Amino acid sequence: MHRKLDPPPLDAVLGSANAVAAGRLAGDGPAGRLPVTPEMLREEPSGNVFGLTQNVGMGWSPTALEGPQYVIVSTHGGLRGEDGRPVALGYHTGHWEIGLLVRAAAETLRAAGAIPFAAYCSDPCDGRTQGTTGMFDSLPYRNDAAVVMRRLIRSLPTASGMMGVATCDKGLPATMLALAGCRDLPGVVVPGGVTLPAVGAEDAGQVQSLGARFARDLVSLDYAATMGCRACGSSGGGCQFLGTAATSQVVAEALGLALPHSALAPSGEPAWLELGPRSAFALLRLHALGIPIERILTQHALENAMLVHAAFGGSTNLLLHIPAIAHAAGLRPPTVDDWIRVNRATPRLVDALPNGPRGHPTVQVFMAGGVPEVMLHLRRMGLLHGDVLTATGDTLDATLDWWETSDRRREARARLAAGAAVSPDDVIMGPDAARSAGMTGTVVFPVGNLAPEGAVVKATAMDPSVVGADQVYRHRGPARVFVDERDAIRAVKGTTERPIRAGDVIVLIGNGPSGTGMQETAQITTALRYLPWGKHVALLTDGRFSGFSSGACVGHIGPEALQGGPIGRVRDDDLLEIVINRGTLTGSVNLVGAAGVPLDAAACAALLAQREVHPGLAPHPALPADTRLWAALQRASGGTWAGCVYDVDRIVAALEAGTSGLTEAASPKLHA
């Protein structure tokens, strides 16, 4: 695929004599004097003085060193020229332009007399790593990046506040974890926005199924090449659908960490460009009012975010990230019962890609009013905690009162109606209209003999044509078991001896934390979405899904196969049954027969108890050692259902117990 380049001449590598001959051996230091006092020199740590030395060494005026210091952490990636064209690419559009927000925020802080610092911890692209071993680093990256960002924030001990600028699937959750863990400082999250849809083209989710559609003779090579080129209508922002990136932005605003009507702003556009200065002013305001993160991130704010997630029909990946944010903030993480209660309280109110029914791109959701518009509906339903504080420094109720009668709301909704001929009320609906449109609760947590600890399915993303009039999806079919995602996608594409066909149940095992770092299986689920018969195929896995996934895709199955989960004992042609009730938000995932022959519940339980695990089940041979360590640490911390966090107390307790056992085993025995 990649053209091989000719090697440059060796002289270009070795360097020149002229470069060293012309080099300086000393330089003039900055002119002026540091604003130090006798008390500072006597009492303060040496690091405080050395920090001032470093500041002027980088070119800051020694006469402007006494303002408050704020650190901006971001996931900015790539290197843009002055004209905006790439000098070095980032990994994805989501972090490509956010340096502009960092710059605008920093300039605003500097103009106010503050001293901004900028630090970077870039992020990977889940779309780029789909189907590759690069995906094994995706979820572990979130934890590691949060640790790095927290270390960067704490490494400026003179900071008076912090700002996090990020956009995509793991970078924005990591940023929220970082700020939540530095709870004694004021802080603001700046969502990095979304990509515009391209005129006459497929979106960034649909193009991920081009390979499968081409393999099944549904599109031509020319069509695939053209659509793959055109998917991004602008060069910055997260994908145009309500996947994990967009849902994370929504959750940041719903938690109160981001400013009102900031999530899903179109990257590069005026409403996005103003987020840098707006957020800088908010940070200055929070500091002046003495409002740290811990007064914003409360138990009630967490429940608000869960309600908004349900109303948007957000990505199931946030079931990993929201508990992790709660843990970082020292809050009680939500339980499965909490999620069920919240999702029973509200139907999905937002018609966005990939859920449908029409599937509006995220920029249209933003113009329809975005998070504050959805929150207005939730408030009218009596569900929101309006007394929580937000990044404005004011209460949520005060913000929603402003939004309801604001010029901004009126202009945004009018722009959508005039520019796209779309009614805002068809994008963000009231509860009665949503129920009339068949929009139900977002997530269901099936259990059963294959998922004794539970599982997750995004019920709103199932094709309505395979759901009964009673709002129940029922599927019974033969198992097709795979221990390697590459084999599964080949079978979906029809390039194997026994291809996937309508009625099958794909069972992908060994894809949990211990096997692959809990990789996404988006290339499979996206293919099923756009293959004509894909809605008649179900998928069960101990891995996870992209936020773009749709259909009867049941993930997070626990325990994972490599930790003794019964899903690891399923064999080809076992008879499996999946029932998802979108009305009651209940479901089941069960083995109901073997070799195509139905069995009663007792026989199925006995079969699963007696069977050996699948002979091919093993951690992926390319699983990195550091991802194995991540899996062990998060397993000791409570695993998937606790948000895949690092719970230091539990990890230390496990290590001490293990160390004690090893010491006892190694101790010499005394004989009478």
Neighbours of 412 (CB within 10 A): 20
To the nearest whole number, what is the mean pLDDT of the chain? 94
For range 465-473, the mean pLDDT = 93
Rounded to an integer, what is the distance from CA 332 to the centroid of its chain?
A: 20
Q: What is the mean pLDDT of residues 377-396?
A: 98
CA pair distance 176, 610, nearest whole angstrom: 45
How does pLDDT run across 182-211, given as a tens digit for each residue?
A: 999 999 999 999 999 999 999 998 999 999
CA angle 307, 315, 585 (to 5 degrees): 60
- Average pLDDT over every residue of 170-179: 98
Is the pLDDT at 670 greater than 70, yes or no?
no
Longest dimension (CA), the chain: 93
Note the Cα 158 to chain centre separation in Å: 30
Which range among 143-152, 467-476, 548-557, 651-660 shows the weakest confidence by mean pLDDT?
A: 548-557
pTM of the model: 0.95
Question: Can you give the pLDDT at residue 551?
Answer: 74
Contact 189, 176 (CB under 8 A): yes
Q: Position 526: which residue type?
A: T
Instruction: Count the Cβ atoms, other than its own, within 10 Å of residue 94.
Output: 30
Q: What is the pLDDT of residues 571-619, one digit of tens each?
A: 999 999 999 999 899 999 999 999 989 999 999 999 999 999 999 999 9
The secondary structure of residue 188, as a DSSP letter, is E
pLDDT classification of 548: cutoffs 50, 70, 90: low
Annotated active-site positions, please? 546
Alpha-carbon distance of 661 to 654, in angstroms, equals 11
- Relative to beta strand 159-166, strand 187-191 is parallel
Q: Could you report how far apart the first and last alpha carbons of the chain are, in Å?
A: 73
Judge whether residue 669 has pLDDT over 70. no
Q: What is the pLDDT of residue 518?
A: 95
pLDDT of residue 666: 64
**Inter-residue contact 301 to 265 (CB < 8 Å):** no
pLDDT value at 463 more than 90 = no
Burial class (CB in 10 A: 0-12, 13-18, 19+), 419: exposed
CA pair distance 75, 5, nearest whole angstrom: 31
Segment (H or E) for 245: helix 244-254
Question: Alpha-carbon distance 73 to 99, whole Å?
Answer: 11
Q: What integer is the mean pLDDT of 391-396?
A: 98
Phi and psi angles of residue 322, each rounded to the nearest 5 degrees, phi first? -65, -45
Q: Give the tokens for residue 644.
A: 């895949």
Per-residue pLDDT at 672 exceeds 50: no
pLDDT digit string, tens, across residues 304-362: 999 999 999 999 999 999 999 999 999 999 999 999 999 999 999 999 998 888 999 99
**Triad 601, 602, 603: Cα angle to 5°:** 95
Q: What does the block give as tokens for 203?
A: 């979106």
CB of 360 closer than 8 Å to CB of 353: yes
